[in-house]
């Protein structure tokens, strides 16, 4: 077992009060989890201040407290360590506690507004096919080899994150692929990690509730690349307006991918339909099972990263061509008789919705209607609501506004804010049905032969969060049940 002194290695430290040569059983950033002899790290958050729970942590037996401000009244049995930044301390301490697992495997982080789950999942599946044991940290799930560990966040807090990486090392993983959300960069959940590479997919409107301005959102994403070490690679999408900006100050080896201009990894779409993509990658023409131009970008990111990690181009393309996308991303079913196409997709940003609808339009062969069911999450960026309302109506023949995860908000109010974005002449296309199941039923009821129904926003999610309660809900299951009923 390590001592507190060892766990504080590489942490910026101010004052230390008490004995830091004590053995550490566990680290916690949440006082509610503290047990006898554990270390409590007090973090100033958005909703609460961990410093307010120091005495509670001590009453539960905490042997040490790491905090930005040492309390006025201290206990002689507890070691207090003052640090300038508890977020940073938590990351570095978690790494030390778990023997810095990120140093023992090749860790690749993926950041960007959309595409992180897809890219990380494809990399995990590709490297598994290439014979490696791999780890995955993603929105849909975490994975250690074949073992699935449910995910609570896109990027876990530093303690859970390092614990998961340590399990990966213990189970013989060579590689770990993880999503790096902007929240995680900002809250330094990734502090102390050693990355072998970083990938940027794109940056568009999202999370302005949290970051306040788009410039700040860009700055936070860029900070991930600024922090990469010299030995790592930094791979960016040149077709995104901010692709170059991301890498401007990185020490890592810079590499680029593109579908439009000269780049280290250049791809070209030759065909794009419901059976997948045919792309020219270098000298090769390759068929992939993923659908849509946006997935061509994701595939190029994966291809580029795999080359940069030392894999043979031909081996990569042969394996990648057989791999399916992540659950709930352009996941479709076709009904037997009417050949209605039902698509479930995790598009929960304006750009994702636009990309998915553009892809669907492109797949349409005749005058089939596009019927979209969409909502926006509560307690999240309100500014994206009218934009998503506008995108949905402009690119669909009919739109049913419904609830996503309303969380603490009034579903009708969220829908009203989405409707604000709809142009007057488009209003006749829209309907609002707050009950998501009813909305899906109604969409299916509208569908004629070969029409296309898009159920957007919740993808793989198996619940709907309403007023703090997660009710079981699965878009794909509801859609397939309702489609079957239609044909009875």
Ligand X SMILES: Nc1ncnc2c1ncn2[C@@H]1O[C@H](COP(=O)(O)OP(=O)(O)OP(=O)(O)O)[C@@H](O)[C@H]1O
Ligand Y SMILES: CC(=O)N[C@H]1[C@@H](OP(=O)(O)OP(=O)(O)OC[C@H]2O[C@@H](n3ccc(=O)[nH]c3=O)[C@H](O)[C@@H]2O)O[C@H](CO)[C@@H](O)[C@@H]1O[C@H](C)C(=O)N[C@@H](C)C(=O)N[C@H](CCC(=O)O)C(=O)O
Binding-site residue positions for ATP:
112-118
Shortest reach from residue 117's CB to Mg ion, in Å: 3
**Residue 86's binding partner out of Mg ion, ligand API, ligand X, none, with CB under 5 to 8 Å set by partner kind:** none
Cβ closest to Mg ion, residue 68 vs residue 206 = 206
Q: How far apart (Å, rounded) are the C-alpha atoms in residues 83 and 218? A: 28
Per CB under 6 A, 167 contacts ligand API: no
Per CB under 6 A, 348 contacts ligand API: yes
Q: How far apart (Å, rounded) are the C-alpha atoms in residues 419 and 342? A: 24
Per CB under 6 A, 160 contacts ligand Y: no
Per CB under 6 A, 457 contacts ligand API: yes
Per CB under 6 A, 156 contacts ligand API: no
Residues between 119 and 158 with contacts to Mg ion, criterion CB under 5 A: 139, 154
* Pairs from 270-279 (Cβ < 8 Å, separation ≥ 24): 272/296, 272/359, 272/362, 273/363, 274/332, 274/341, 274/363
Per CB under 6 A, 104 contacts ligand Y: no
| Helices and strands (H and E) in the chain: how many | 16, 24
The stretch among 48-56, 304-312, 352-360, 467-475 that binds ligand X (CB under 6 A) is 352-360
Helix (H, G, I), strand (E, B) or coil at 134: strand
Q: How far apart (Å, rounded) are the C-alpha atoms in residues 481 and 477? A: 6
The stretch among 7-15, 45-53, 75-83, 293-301 that binds ligand X (CB under 6 A) is 293-301
**Residue 117's binding partner out of ligand API, Mg ion, ligand Y, none, with CB under 5 to 8 Å set by partner kind:** Mg ion
First to last CA, the chain: 64
Among 2, 129, 132, 183, binds ligand Y (CB under 6 A): 183
Residue 235 gets which letter from DSSP? Answer: E
Per CB under 6 A, 250 contacts ligand API: no
**What is the DSSP secondary-structure string of 405-464?**
--BTS-HHHHHHHHHTTS-GGGGGGEEE-SSHHHHHHHHHHH--TT-EEEEES-TT--EE
Per CB under 6 A, 224 contacts ligand X: no
Would you tell me how many other CB atoms lie within 10 Å of the CB of residue 270?
Answer: 12
**Residue 29's binding partner out of ligand X, ligand API, ligand Y, none, with CB under 5 to 8 Å set by partner kind:** ligand Y
Cβ closest to Mg ion, residue 126 vs residue 140 = 140
Shortest reach from residue 103's CB to ligand X, in Å: 26
Using CB positions, name the residue nearest to Mg ion.
Answer: 139
Helix (H) or strand (E) holding 333: strand 331-334
Among 18, 50, 276, 378, binds ligand Y (CB under 6 A): 50
188 dihedral zone (left: phi>0; alpha: psi -120 to 50; beta)? left
The interaxial angle of helices 411-419 and 384-394, nearest 10 deg, is 60
Shortest reach from residue 348's CB to ligand API, in Å: 4
Q: How far apart (Å, rounded) are the C-alpha atoms in residues 306 and 486? A: 44
Among 235, 352, 357, 391, binds ligand X (CB under 6 A): 352
On whether the CB atoms of residues 119 and 329 are closer than 8 A, the answer is no
Per CB under 6 A, 345 contacts ligand X: yes
Among 2, 5, 132, 153, binds ligand Y (CB under 6 A): 153
Q: What is the 3-state secondary structure (H, E, C) of 256-319?
A: EEECCCCCCEEEEEEEEECCEEEEEECCEEEEECCCCHHHHHHHHHHHHHHHHCCCCHHHHHHH
Q: How far apart (Å, rounded) are the C-alpha atoms in residues 310 and 16? A: 45
Alpha helices by DSSP H, listed for 309-383, are 313-320, 350-363
Among 96, 201, 236, 372, binds ligand X (CB under 6 A): 201
Cβ closest to ligand API, residue 372 vs residue 405 = 405
Cβ closest to ligand Y, residue 33 vs residue 254 = 33
- Which residues of the chain form contacts with Mg ion (CB under 5 A)? 116-117, 139, 154, 179
- Which residues of the chain form contacts with ligand API (CB under 6 A)? 154, 348, 377, 380, 404-405, 457-458
- Which residues of the chain form contacts with ligand X (CB under 6 A)? 112, 114-118, 139, 154, 179, 201-202, 294, 297-298, 329, 345-347, 351-352, 355-356, 459
- Which residues of the chain form contacts with ligand Y (CB under 6 A)? 29-32, 43, 45-48, 50, 53, 153-155, 157, 181, 183-184, 187
């Amino acid at each position: 077992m390590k001592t507190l002194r060892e766990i504080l290695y590489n942490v910026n430290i101010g004052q230390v009060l008490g004995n830091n040569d004590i053995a550490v059983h566990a680290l916690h950033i949440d006082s509610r989890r503290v047990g006898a002899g554990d270390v409590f790290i007090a973090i100033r958050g958005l909703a609460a201040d961990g410093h307010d729970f120091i005495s509670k942590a001590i009453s539960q037996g905490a042997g040490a407290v790491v905090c930005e401000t040492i309390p006025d009244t201290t206990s002689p049995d507890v070691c207090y360590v003052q640090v300038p930044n508890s977020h940073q301390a938590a990351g570095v301490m978690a790494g030390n506690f778990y023997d810095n697992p990120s140093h023992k495997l090749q860790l690749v982080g993926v950041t960007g507004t959309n595409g992180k789950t897809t890219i990380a999942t494809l990399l995990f599946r590709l490297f598994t096919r290439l014979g490696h044991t791999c780890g995955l940290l993603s929105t849909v799930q975490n994975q250690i080899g074949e073992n699935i560990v449910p995910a609570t966040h896109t990027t876990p807090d530093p303690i859970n994150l390092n614990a998961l990486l340590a399990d990966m090392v213990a189970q013989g993983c060579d590689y770990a692929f993880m999503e790096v959300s902007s929240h995680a960069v900002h809250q330094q959940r990734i502090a102390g990690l050693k990355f072998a590479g970083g990938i940027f997919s794109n940056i568009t409107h999202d999370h302005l509730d949290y970051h306040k301005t788009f410039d700040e959102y860009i700055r936070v994403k860029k900070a991930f690349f600024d922090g990469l070490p010299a030995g790592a690679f930094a791979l960016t999408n040149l077709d995104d307006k901010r692709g170059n900006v991301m890498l401007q100050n990185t020490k890592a080896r810079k590499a680029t991918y593109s579908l439009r201009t000269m780049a280290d990894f250049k791809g070209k779409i030759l065909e794009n339909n419901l059976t997948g993509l045919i792309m020219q990658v270098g000298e090769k023409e390759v068929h992939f099972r993923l659908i849509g131009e946006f997935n061509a970008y994701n595939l190029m990111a994966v291809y580029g990263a795999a080359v940069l990690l030392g894999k043979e181009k031909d081996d990569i393309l042969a394996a990648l061509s057989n791999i399916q996308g992540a659950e709930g991303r352009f996941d479709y079913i076709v009904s037997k008789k009417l050949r209605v196409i039902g698509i479930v997709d995790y598009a929960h940003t304006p750009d994702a919705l636009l990309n998915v609808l553009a892809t669907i339009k492109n797949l349409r062969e005749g005058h089939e209607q596009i019927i979209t069911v969409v909502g926006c999450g509560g307690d999240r960026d309100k500014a994206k609501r009218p934009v998503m309302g506008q995108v949905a109506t402009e690119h669909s023949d009919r739109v049913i506004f419904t609830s996503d995860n309303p969380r603490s908000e009034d579903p009708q109010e969220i829908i009203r804010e989405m409707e604000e974005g709809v142009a007057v002449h488009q209003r006749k296309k829209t309907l609002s049905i707050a009950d998501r199941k009813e909305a899906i039923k109604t969409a299916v009821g509208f569908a004629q032969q070969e029409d296309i129904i898009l159920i957007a926003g919740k993808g793989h999610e198996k619940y709907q969060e309403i007023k703090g309660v997660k009710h079981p809900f699965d878009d794909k299951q509801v859609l397939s049940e309702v489609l079957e009923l239609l044909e009875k």
